[in-house]
Amino acid sequence: MLRLDLGLIEELNDKAYEIRTLALKAMAKGHVGHPGGSFSEAEVLAALYFHEMRINPENPIWAERDRFILSKAHACPSLYAALALRGYFPPEECLTYGALNSRLQGHPDMRKTPGIEISGGSLGQGLSAACGMAWGIRKRGLFSHVYCMIGDGECQEGQIWEAAMSASHYKLDNLTAIIDYNKVQAKAYTYEEIGVEPLAGRWEAFGWQNLEIDGHDMNEILQALYKARWINRTGRPTVIISHTVKGRGVDYMEFNPKWHTQAPTGAEAEAALEKLAGRYGKPYRKGGLETWK
């Protein structure tokens, strides 16, 4: 087991809070976005970008960098927030999200936004790209690692399973898939649409090593990422099933399909920011978001 400093845990939880608040402001300002899935992934993004991944914001295309692919690309507001807070571009640029000519659109564009490894759009495609990257990295003799975050509803896509089969066939143990298992998709709960259980068993049947965690427990996240990268190098890729809460941190958004696609108004964002501050024990001063139209 990895020995972790409590100060590190607190620091990364603070980053998750900052990711949520910046993403929320961006969605309110741009009148667009997916708050539910953006909030459920925040702790994992904080762990990856502020501890786990070897990256260089001053040189986003550094050959030896680790790669992260957000296959559930519609949840990019939190990814943009993580990139901005990590230094890829100024945090205030997040407030241009969705605006005409902004580098930060509703789906990431690798041609415009530093730190984006693959343009996103149609669901189900990110893991295929991740497999290609992991295979190419190994062929070049690099020790970089590839991380791919997949939505649970996205696991209903056939291409996910084609890629999963390829990854195990080519023994891509430098690849880690992370399932943001928040149990809610665009219009309903996943079990109501196409059930994905037994999720762990399905990935194991495709030749993957499986880890299950509480995706909001920073200690569990870091332990799993460490094990996937440093311990499970046995010729099999690793999947981390990250049990999360859709809309985490704002009670009326949690487990509510409505907030998969609905961006908050200024007033709703102001109320949500206050709830987030209370949830995470942070001071809060009203900032006038309710005037955003």
Work out the mean pLDDT of the chain and round it to a whole number. Answer: 95
Number of domains observed in the structure of the chain: 1
Sheet holding 209-214, edge to edge: 67-70, 146-151, 175-181, 238-243, 209-214
Instruction: With respect to residue 158, please indicate whether it lies within any of the assigned structural domains.
Output: yes
Instruction: With respect to residue 1, please indicate whether it lies within any of the assigned structural domains.
Output: no
pLDDT at 203: 98
pLDDT at 131: 98
Lowest mean pLDDT among 55-59, 139-143, 146-150, 284-288: 284-288
Give how far Cα 8 sits from Cα of 21, 55, 73, 266, Å.
Answer: 20, 18, 28, 33
Average pLDDT, integer, range 247-269:
91
**Domain carrying residue 26:** 6-291
- In this prediction, residue 144 has a pLDDT band, given cuts at 50, 70 and 90, of very high
| Dihedral sign computed on CA atoms, order 230, 210, 204, 185 | negative
pLDDT at 290: 83
pLDDT at 232: 86
pLDDT at 41: 98
Residue 191 has pLDDT above 90, yes or no: no
User: Using CB atoms within 10 A of its CB, is residue 119 exposed (0-12), middle (13-18) or buried (19+)?
Assistant: middle
- 56-74 pLDDT, tens per residue? 999 999 999 999 999 999 9
Residue 103 has pLDDT above 80, yes or no: yes
- 195-224 pLDDT, tens per residue? 999 999 999 999 999 999 999 999 999 999
| Spatial separation of the C-alpha atoms in residues 216 and 82, rounded to whole Å | 16
pLDDT at 121: 84
Residue 46 has pLDDT above 80, yes or no: yes
pLDDT at 5: 87
CA dihedral angle for residue 24, residue 26, residue 29, residue 35, rounded to 10 degrees: -40
pLDDT at 281: 92
CATH number, position 170 = 3.40.50.970
Residue 293 has pLDDT above 80, yes or no: no
- Residues near 188 by Cβ (< 8 Å), separated by ≥ 6? 257
Residue 1 has pLDDT above 80, yes or no: no
Residue 122 has pLDDT above 90, yes or no: no
Instruction: With respect to residue 35, please indicate whether it lies within any of the assigned structural domains.
Output: yes
pLDDT at 9: 96
